[in-house]
Amino acid sequence: MDSPWLDKKQLAAWVRLAAVVELLPGVLERQLRRDAELTHFDYFVLAMLSEATDRTLRMTELGRQTNATLPRLSHVVQRLEDRGLVERFPCPQDKRATNARLTDAGWTKVQATAPGHVATVRTHVIDPLTPRQLAQLTEIADAILQHLDPDGAMSGVYNRYDNESGQDDT
């Protein structure tokens, strides 16, 4: 498939996005490992469970929300279980399925970890932007996500904080 080369403006935008995609995960990972002894994905799993009803999700739903394969998710949940942060048990509605639930220790860990994580996100992503740029970032991310996630498989995760108009009222 022959695609036209990127022009200078397109290339300038692309290399900046690529740099963000490369640098930001390391910044988030370092803070979480240093302050909470968690990987970014560990924290993502704990956060998804913390926001679920009864802090419980089927493993398949947790995998969908975190965009993880079941083998990867199972490995991470096992590590979190070993630390007493998560527990797995048979789903009462479907004995073939397994649920994951955030333990009290897991909930305490999320509550202790969230302020530092939010501060890191603010420092490196939110605070450098004007309100207009933040709205533009949301629009840009939505446009890209329409192509990366055309079926909206993860839209419940990235649209959950939108109000009815889809934008913040500020």
pLDDT at 166: 45
Single out the residue of 27, 93, 14, 24 nearest to residue 57, CA to CA: 93
4: in domain: no
pLDDT at 170: 43
Tokens, residue 128? 């450098």
pLDDT at 164: 54
1: in domain: no
40: in domain: yes
pLDDT at 155: 87
- Count how many domains the chain has: 1
102: in domain: yes
109: in domain: yes
pLDDT at 104: 98
The CATH number of the domain holding residue 38 is 1.10.10.10
5: in domain: no
- Low-confidence stretches of the chain (pLDDT beneath 50): 165-170
58: in domain: yes
Find the domain containing 116 and state its range. Answer: 16-144
C-alpha 26/C-alpha 116 separation (Å) is: 15
131: in domain: yes
pTM for the predicted model, two decimal places: 0.88
C-alpha 8/C-alpha 15 separation (Å) is: 10
pLDDT at 85: 98
H helices present in the chain, as ranges: 8-36, 40-50, 59-66, 70-82, 104-121, 131-148, 155-158
